[in-house]
Chain A
Amino acid sequence: DVKVTQSSRYLVKRTGEKVFLECVQDMDHENMFWYRQDPGLGLRLIYFSYDVKMKEKGDIPEGYSVSREKKERFSLILESASTNQTSMYLCASTGGAVDTQYFGPGTRLTVL
């Protein structure tokens, strides 16, 4: 079975802190994605990566950056957390072209 893991299920940070969210997949997938999910707004794509050291902006990249130094790991970075970044963050991965995306369990981030 494909396994996508995220570093934390729940995280509480203060405004202005630098926040790292990590995602690891064990299926040698090329493509990895970061989404945030908010009530009434659905899943929104923040960034995705189709190869090591490659990244593409999604629909809402402002305030975020990403890092993909190894194929299995994709990190989402909030350079200076703000309260409007309080959300559920979901990581997903897929092999090759767009195919079934496998999601991690999610990280519920609260910024105070």
Chain B
Amino acid sequence: QKEVEQNSGPLSVPEGAIASLNCTYSDRGSQSFFWYRQYSGKSPELIMFIYSNGDKEDGRFTAQLNKASQYVSLLIRDSQPSDSATYLCAVANQAGTALIFGKGTTLSVSS
């Protein structure tokens, strides 16, 4: 069974700090990686995707991928209370037919 592991949290950071969310995956053949944000009572929405080793930046968000270590992370700079949510890491299976989701990390940003 292919797995995606995340620390469930909660991860608590003060407003303005950097929040670091981590994810490891078991399928070495995975090629596509996604970060979703889910507010309480809402459905997940995509924040970023990353396919290549290294960093990918989009505004306050940076995704980092290290395929050798089977590790993907999401950094949120200048964290805001509105960033308080559950962050889901998702990894595409080798066949590219489905995503495997982690259980999510809950982030709480205090003002």
Q: State the majority secondary structure of interface residues on A.
A: loop
Report the separation of the CA atoms of residues A1 and B42 in the bound assembly, to the nearest whole angstrom.
18
Interface residues, chain B, CB within 8 Å of chain A? 1, 32, 34, 42-46, 49, 88, 90, 92-93, 96-104
Contacts of B88 in A (CB 8 A): 42-43
Bound Cα distance A105, B43 (Å): 5
CA separation between A42 and B101, bound complex, in Å? 7
Total chain A interface residues with beta-carbon distance under 8 A: 24
Take A98-B92, A106-B43 as given contacts and tell me if A43 and B97 are in contact as well, using a CB distance cutoff of 8 Å: no
Kindly state the separation between the CA atoms of A42 and B42 in the bound complex, as whole angstroms. 14
Chain B residue with minimal CB distance to A35? B101
Residues of chain A having any CB pair with chain B under 8 Å:
31, 33, 35, 40-43, 45, 48, 50, 56, 58-59, 90, 97-106
Q: A42-B101, A48-B98 are in contact. Are A103 and B44 (CB under 8 A)?
A: yes
Q: Given A42-B102, A42-B104, A90-B43, answer yes or no on A100-B34 (Cβ-Cβ < 8 Å).
A: yes
- In the complex, 17 of the A-B residue pairs with CB atoms within 8 angstroms, ordered by the A residue number, are A31-B97, A42-B88, A42-B101, A43-B88, A45-B98, A45-B99, A45-B100, A48-B98, A56-B98, A90-B43, A98-B32, A98-B93, A100-B34, A100-B49, A101-B90, A103-B44, A105-B43
